[in-house]
Amino acid sequence: MLGKIVLILGILGMLLGGAILVISALLPTLTEGRTSPDEALLGIIPGAIVLIGAFFITVIGLVVVLMKRKKSVVVANG
């Protein structure tokens, strides 16, 4: 149960970080130069950090879920 919660939170974090990263990267283009690339970095860097952190959380949750599933298969067959 805990592994699934961690996995879901990690996936949601990846979606959030990816959205922040993409929107911030597109800001200079979408605002026709009113937002400078330096200003866009204020959103790109945190978005990338959230995306990377959430990726590791997702991997940890996936490992926990798979280990629990493998353990339950061994108990059922054992």
Distance CA 41, CA 25 (A): 8
Given CA atoms 55, 61, 62, 64 in this order, what sign does their dihedral have?
positive
pLDDT bucket at 78, cuts 50 / 70 / 90: low
Q: What is the mean pLDDT of residues 10-18?
A: 96
Which residues fall within 8 angstroms of residue 10, CB to CB, at 6 or more apart? Answer: 54, 55, 56, 57, 58, 59, 60, 61
Residue 16 tokens read as 């959030």
Split at pLDDT 50, 70, 90, the class of 41 is: very high
Q: What percentage of the chain carries pLDDT values higher than 70?
A: 95
For residue 40, which phi and psi values (nearest 5 degrees)? -65, -30
